[in-house]
A and B are shown apart, each in its own frame.
Chain A
Amino acid sequence: MIRLVLERTVASLVVVLGAVTLIFLILNWLPGDPASLVAGEGASAETIEHVRIQLGTDRPLLRQYREYLVGLAHGDLGRSYVTREPVLAKIESQFPSTACLALASAAVAVALGIGMGVLSAVYRGRWVDQVFQVAALFLVSIPPFWLGLLGILLFSVKLRWLPVIGRGGVAPSVLPVACLGLIFSVPLLRMVRNGIIEALDEPYVMTLRAKGLRARRIVYVHVLRNVLMSTVTLLGILVGELLSGLVIVEILFARQGLGRLAVEAVSNKDMPVVQGAILLTSVAYVGINLLVDISYAWIDPRVRVAAAGRAR
């Protein structure tokens, strides 16, 4: 078990490093000189060169990369090219908002997905199932910002139940969270539904029924547990998608966050900020997947046995 965790952790670190390197390479491939952007429109060539030296973009790529890694090891993520603010501070200030939104949306997606998936499976074929299927299909077919806009129009302007923008309190977060949560509940809904339907056809269920257990108990206690594992795995994979969705929601609802920060930084070729943002997202991504793997191994004894078997 420990060996599994260590193995996975090392693999995760490789992935994080790889992601940061990948984005470093991609950004350097992008056209445009961040120094001229920073120096501003009125700058002479001399000033631009001066800024270039200040930023460090005049040095060879390999050296820049190496210095970045060294800085990283010391916890220094560099300074934004555009604002000269330390990247770590900038990300720290934007992170809570995004994390909050992400967690809430994930929670809503899981709740809705599992809830509706169970209902759908248990009442499969009936109108409940049909309605959910149709709704699900619709939800993944529309652009997310359209859903958000409709929400604003209906709940904010017409009904005045919810505010459009704002930070404090629950109310301003309801619309963005609902928007993302609904959309991301769909894959989970399908997974749960089909997992349960599958499982209900399994021989062991028949055995349980023969033993006299009521259908509901079978679903909740036995089947759901199995399905939950796949659901959690799916969630790990969906994290990347969620982060993309956050970008759009943040801009639509005029919220601050890492999504907006990252988009603007890419446009400005503000390398340290982009790398910092990618560092964070990749850590989140591998972190969640790592947790998924560990919990998976922990829940399912057969996997532990397999891992132990390999260790020998």
Chain B
Amino acid sequence: MKAAAERVVGSAEGDPSFGAAPRARPGPRAASAVLQPTPPVADVLATRPSGVRARLEVYLVRVSALVVLFFLVCAFFPVIVAPYRATDMLSDAILVAPNWRHLCGTDQFGRDVFSLIVYGARQSLLVTFCATVVASAAGAFLGLLSGYAGGWVDMVVMRIIDMWMAIPSILLAIAVCTALGPSLPTLVLAVGVALIPRYARVLRAQALAVRVRSYIEAARVSGASHAAILRRHVLPQCLGPILVLATLGAGWSILIGSGLSFLGFGVNEERPDWGYLVSEGRSYLTVAWWTVTCPGLAIAALVVSVNLLGDALRGALAPRSSGT
């Protein structure tokens, strides 16, 4: 049950296509390591839908893909999207409400908020991507090691992960920021460090699930080395969850970064990331709601789109990963 729960936490969508609603099988391990083969797929949005629903879903996925594509374009080629430069300060247009000239209004410096969002996409996406890579790599390493090796290695690694999780992630992130001074790499590290335990636990559960499958036994018996088994059988099985976690990681990273900005550990760059913008704008909520709402909507749009895409991805991948 715990393994399933761990997998769910990783994929907070709760999509059971990678194993859920477990049956406890009395196994040789500690009570928490209960495993079972995957049941029939039930995707997140509904059971296999009727025509109208199917079209709606496809529509949603398409929109999500477009949104993500748009943000990627903003990240790589902000110049073609943004009407102004992020640093342009129009001193006669301070805190102007959204209008045709400024789609999202202007902020307290007279900067066009829409342009800020466009230019900020790069930083936000970069931090997200890098933090996710860091967390996945480290988490996968720890989780797979722990899940596959089992025994005392498993116990030690899990205890370390527990210690890690016992310290509130934001305090860890603050400690890292304080130690290294606020900058982009620091932010990436801080967010990554906060996320690693989640990845580790989920991937451990996955590794445990795969390990007991019969084809692994067969491979061992036929003389394959552990490394080869890991590479050829375990790892591919884990790519699915990793991908799932990555899509969720987008949201987590941005929100943790935003929280750090709120607490004063944000990175004040020329092209601030969205979390910083939302945090900065919060004092103006009563007089200029657009300074908070527009970057906030950008965050929400990205996170929602990535999540929906992740669901679709999971749905597409599921049939391959189920079965013993």
Q: Does A276 contact B (CB under 8 A)?
A: no
Contact of B27 among A137, A201, A277, A306 (CB under 8 A): A306
Chain B residues 46 to 65 lying within 8 A of chain A, measured CB to CB, are 46-47, 49, 53
1/0 per position for B1-32, CB-CB distance to A under 8 A? Answer: 11011101100111110001110111110011
Chain A CB within 8 A of B99 CB? no
A201 CB to closest chain B CB, in angstroms? 6
Interface size on A, residues (CB 8 A): 82
B278 within 8 A of A: yes
Given contacts A30-B178, A157-B286, contact A143 B307 (CB under 8 A): no
Interface members, chain B 95-150 (any A CB < 8 Å): none
Q: How far is the CB of A204 from chain B (nearest CB, A)?
A: 10
Q: Tell me, rounded to whole Å, the shortest Cβ–Cβ distance linking B149 to chain A.
A: 18
Contacts of B171 in A (CB 8 A): 23, 244, 247, 262-263, 266, 274, 277-278
In the bound complex, do residue B262 and residue A248 qualify as a contact, i.e. CB atoms below 8 Å apart?
yes
Q: Are A191 and B299 in contact (CB under 8 A)?
A: no
Chain B residues with Cβ below 8 Å from A14 are 159
Interface size class of B (residues with CB under 8 A): 35 or more
Min CB distance, A136 to chain B, in Å? 9
Give A127 to B17 CA distance when docked, in angstroms: 23
Inter-chain CA distance A138–B8, complex, in Å, is 19
In the assembled complex, the Cα of A115 lies from the Cα of B172 at a distance in Å of: 33
For residue A198, which residue of chain B has the nearest CB?
Answer: B21
A87-102 contacts to B (CB < 8 Å): none
Docked CA distance A23–B159 (Å): 15
- Interface residue ranges, A against B (CB under 8 Å): 4, 11, 14-16, 18-19, 22-23, 26-27, 29-32, 124-125, 129, 133, 137-138, 140-146, 149-150, 153, 157, 186-187, 190-191, 193-195, 197-199, 201-202, 226-227, 229-230, 233-234, 237-238, 240-241, 243-244, 247-248, 251, 262-263, 266-267, 274, 277-278, 281-282, 285-286, 289, 293, 296-297, 300, 302-303, 305-307, 309-310
7 contacting pairs across A/B (C-beta < 8 A): A143-B259, A143-B296, A149-B285, A190-B14, A194-B42, A198-B42, A274-B171
Query: 20 other contacts beyond A195-B20, A293-B31, with CB at 8 A cut-off?
Result: A140-B251, A141-B303, A141-B307, A144-B259, A145-B259, A145-B279, A187-B8, A194-B8, A194-B13, A198-B21, A199-B21, A226-B21, A230-B8, A240-B168, A244-B259, A263-B170, A278-B167, A289-B162, A302-B25, A306-B26
